[in-house]
Amino acid sequence: MRKELRLVIVALAWVCAACTTHSYTTDSPADTRKLRIRAGDEIRVVTTDRDRISFKVAEVRDDRFLGVTVEPNAKESRLADTPVEVPYADVAMIEVTRFDPKAVAAAGSVVVFTVALGTLVLAGVPVVVVPP
């Protein structure tokens, strides 16, 4: 029973750590290009005219993002599955959500260490007495 619970906890930690979100404020289209956003990333954009759009990037062009909207967050008016184009020049703030293998490795290491330490504490550490 405990072994299965540990495995579930480890699996959940890795799944939760698989995606990371970072927010950026861009001052120019060049700043937006430096973020290295790629197809498959989910981004939330606030435009210079204060329009909020959450979408999954389908294509990254030299001057704009192309994608399809996802389930709208608060203060967003566009319906899900609507095609969208956002020129870099219109981006005021951007939030990027993507899979990050380094974050998964770090979280996995912490979880494995914690589970191992917990197992030692709960099971008891064998003490070997060495005669003098």
Q: In this prediction, what percent of the chain has a pLDDT beyond 90?
A: 35
Backbone conformation region of residue 36, classed left if phi is above 0, alpha if psi is from -120 to 50, else beta? left
What's the angle, vertex CA 23, arms to CA 43 and CA 113, rounded to 5?
A: 100
Q: Give me 5's structure tokens.
A: 């619970």
Report the distance separating Cα 12 and Cα 6, nearest Å: 10
The pLDDT score that the predictor gives to residue 94 is: 93
Average pLDDT estimate for 17-46: 82
- What confidence category does residue 63 fall into, taking pLDDT thresholds of 50, 70 and 90? very high
Q: Is 28 exposed, middle or buried (0-12, 13-18, 19+ CB in 10 A)?
A: exposed
Q: Which residue has the higher pLDDT, 121 or 25?
A: 25
Give residues with Cβ within 8 angstroms of 11, minimum separation 6.
none
Average pLDDT of the chain?
80
Q: Could you give the dihedral angle defined by the CA atoms of residues 43, 49, 50 and 53, in that order, rounded to the nearest 10 degrees?
A: -30
